[in-house]
Structure 1
Amino acid sequence: MKHIAFAGAVTVALSSLAQASTVTGDFGGTIGAPTGATNIIRFEGADTNRLDWGAQSSGGVVVPEDSSSLTINENPFSFDASGGGEFLLGTITWNNQSNFSTGGDWSSTVSLSLSFLNPTAIDLNESFEFSISNTPDGQPTAEQAELLGTFPDEISGFVLGASAFDAPVDLGGDLILDSVYFSLFDAGAASAYNSENGFWTNREGGTSTIAVYGSISEVPLPAGAWLLISGLGGLIVMRRREKQAA
């Protein structure tokens, strides 16, 4: 009975060591005001999660439904990290409209945030600059430009490095955030994204979404855990021999 009780205790201890936590938290961010515009630009929403630019009413007020926009889609995430793996943190959407006050070429800054709640409360942040080139539409009206989808606009520098968010990060619960990276999530024709150089294209009238993924791995079991495993195996063998002798 003593052997069985001890074996049960060891099994419980090993289960505790091997059990990975559920990772939960919130994804969000802000987009800065355009700088260095080479043409007239009208925009609103700077330093919020959505920047609108381009079309405006006769009073100079930006009309979001007729403007281009870049949106950091705020998202609560939850991931069963048993065995590690990749999971979706959130998305960033670019809606590209044809209009006359897009500013030509300009730059801005994206600031992303990851607020982990479980297994440990950790706040991580990453900022980077990007540039956008609003190409001439080549059509007499915005409707024609969006119908044909020619002359897609371009964003460059939209990239996360290998050490973004200070990765690798110990999240607690024997879990490591190895990396955070971008990947094209949803896009129509004439939209593409290169995760290596951050070059993103989107047709006139098109909507393109980039996914933000996290990669997590488990911390290997410590040497002491393997000793417990060996001990448990020995106890099982001894118990079987006792039964056979009896």
Structure 2
Amino acid sequence: MFKKIAIAGALSLGVVGAAQASTISGSFSGTVDAPSGATDPSIQYIGAGTSKLEWGTPSHKNYTVESGNSSSLEINTTNFSFEKSDVKSGSVLLGTITWNNQSNFHTGSEWTSNVNLGLNFFAPLALALSDSIAFEITNTPDVSFNTDTNEATGNNADEISGMQLAVGAFGVPLDLGGGHTLDAVFFDLFDAGTRSAYNAGNGFWTNVEGGTSTIGIYADISTVPLPAGMWLLLGGLGGLAAMRRQDKKAA
């Protein structure tokens, strides 16, 4: 009987220990929908439905969007991996979204779109989560027809509103397995660049002409520790079993 208890105790310790030390891993990805309801001047864009939407042209008579020379909003596909010690120290970064704001023509004064985000957890449990955010962008008129001048001065910052995850986004709180719980997912500033800003309280994002700004998607993850009494109990059972074996050998 004691031998069975010892084996059971050792197995329990191994299983619980593995759960408490499990790695949380997965990937972050997303797409940006086509602009909708754009007001004059008309908007030119490419990349709708992909991870990177680009809009605007380098000159007034040009109706061709040039990648790298136009404004863009990009969901940066990334993998993440955290240990127990990482999630206990605070919020962890899952991925980023970058807005590159160029002084362009044919950007549309105001329009709306959606970012569709995906979180895929590989471990401890395999989980596929998704959420969408509707946002509105305002492209303010530039001072000069010389786009280089506008980008050098950084005047007339453009604005994105509504870039904010709702409470309970991605179905939180959610059991990730291994004693881990996904408590919250939210946006916050990752890198403001030059004279750009993001307000996590209301989802208001501003970016100067020629500026690049990045927000991060963060997670609060809690780990349920094994009660101290359980460790003592399992340890005691293992000790009793060991003593019993010693007595048998002595006899």
- TM value normalised by structure 2: 0.84
State the one-letter code of the partner of 1:64.
Answer: S
Per the alignment, do residues 118 and 235 of structure 1 end up closer, same or farther by CA in structure 2, a change over 3 Å counting? Answer: closer
Cα pair 1:20 1:175 within 8 Å, conserved:
no
1:145 aligns with 2:150: yes
Change (3 A) 1:83 1:150: closer
Q: How does 1:180-195 map to 2 (within 5 A)?
A: 180-195=185-200
Q: Is the aligned partner of 1:197 residue 2:202?
A: yes
Task: Provide the rounded CA distance (Å) in 2 between the counterparts of 1:14 and 1:162.
Answer: 37
Q: 1:213: Cα distance to partner? A: 1.2
CA distance in 1: counterparts of 2:148 and 2:230, whole angstroms: 71
Closer, same or farther in 2 for the Cα pair 1:83/1:141, shift >3 Å?
closer
> Which residue of 2 is the match for residue 31 of structure 1?
32
Q: Deviations over 1:97-121 (max 9, x none)?
A: 0011110110000100011111111
CA, structure 1 residues 162+139, in 2 after alignment: closer, same or farther (shift >3 Å)? same
Deviations 1:163-220 (A, max 9, x none): 0100111111111111111111112222111111100000000000011112211134
Match 2:97 to one of 88, 92, 95: 92
- The amino acid that maps onto 2:37 is G
Unaligned regions of 5+ residues in structure 1, if any? 240-246
* 1:56 Cα deviation from its structure 2 partner: 5.8
- The one-letter code matched in structure 2 to 1:107 is T
**What secondary structure does 2:143 align onto?**
coil
Query: 1:48: which partner in 2?
Result: 50
Q: Tell me, yes or no, if structure 1 residue 120 matches structure 2 residue 113.
A: no
Q: Which runs of 5+ in 2 are unaligned?
A: 244-251
Q: Percent identity?
A: 49
**Contact 1:68–1:96 under 8 Å retained in 2:** yes
Contact 1:20 1:218 in 2 (8 A): no
2:97·2:214 contact (CA, 8 Å) conserved in 1?
yes
* Number of positions where the alignment pairs a residue of Structure 1 with one of Structure 2: 235
Within 2, Cα distance between the matches of 1:147 and 1:129?
A: 31
RMSD (Å) for aligned C-alpha atoms: 2.6
Structure 1: which amino acid aligns with 2:29?
Answer: G
Decide whether the 8 Å contact of 2:9 with 2:237 is kept in 1: no
1:74 aligns with 2:73: no
Q: Residue by residue, what CA displacement relative to the aligned partner does 1:30-49 show, whole Å, maximum 9, x if unpaired?
A: 00000111121000100100
Does the CA contact (< 8 Å) of 2:192 and 2:198 recur in 1?
A: no
Q: Which residue of 2 aligns with 1:16?
A: 15
Question: 3-state DSSP class of the match of 1:25?
Answer: strand
The CA deviation at 1:81 is 2.7
2:214 is equivalent to residue 215 of structure 1? no
Deviations 1:97-149 (A, max 9, x none): 00111101100001000111111111000101000000111223111100000
| Deviating more after overlay: 213-222 vs 140-149 | 213-222
Q: What SS does the aligned partner of 1:65 have?
A: coil
Q: Distance in 2 between matches of 1:59 and 1:151?
A: 22
Of 226-235 and 62-71, the range deviating more from structure 2: 226-235
Aligned pair in 2 of structure 1 residues 147, 87: CA closer, same or farther (>3 Å)?
A: same
Question: 1:38-81 deviations in whole A, cap 9, x for unaligned?
Answer: 12100010010000000168673311121000000000111113
Per the alignment, in what secondary structure is the counterpart of residue 94 of structure 2? strand
**SS in structure 1 of the partner of residue 68 of structure 2:** helix
Name the residue aligned to 2:171. Answer: 166
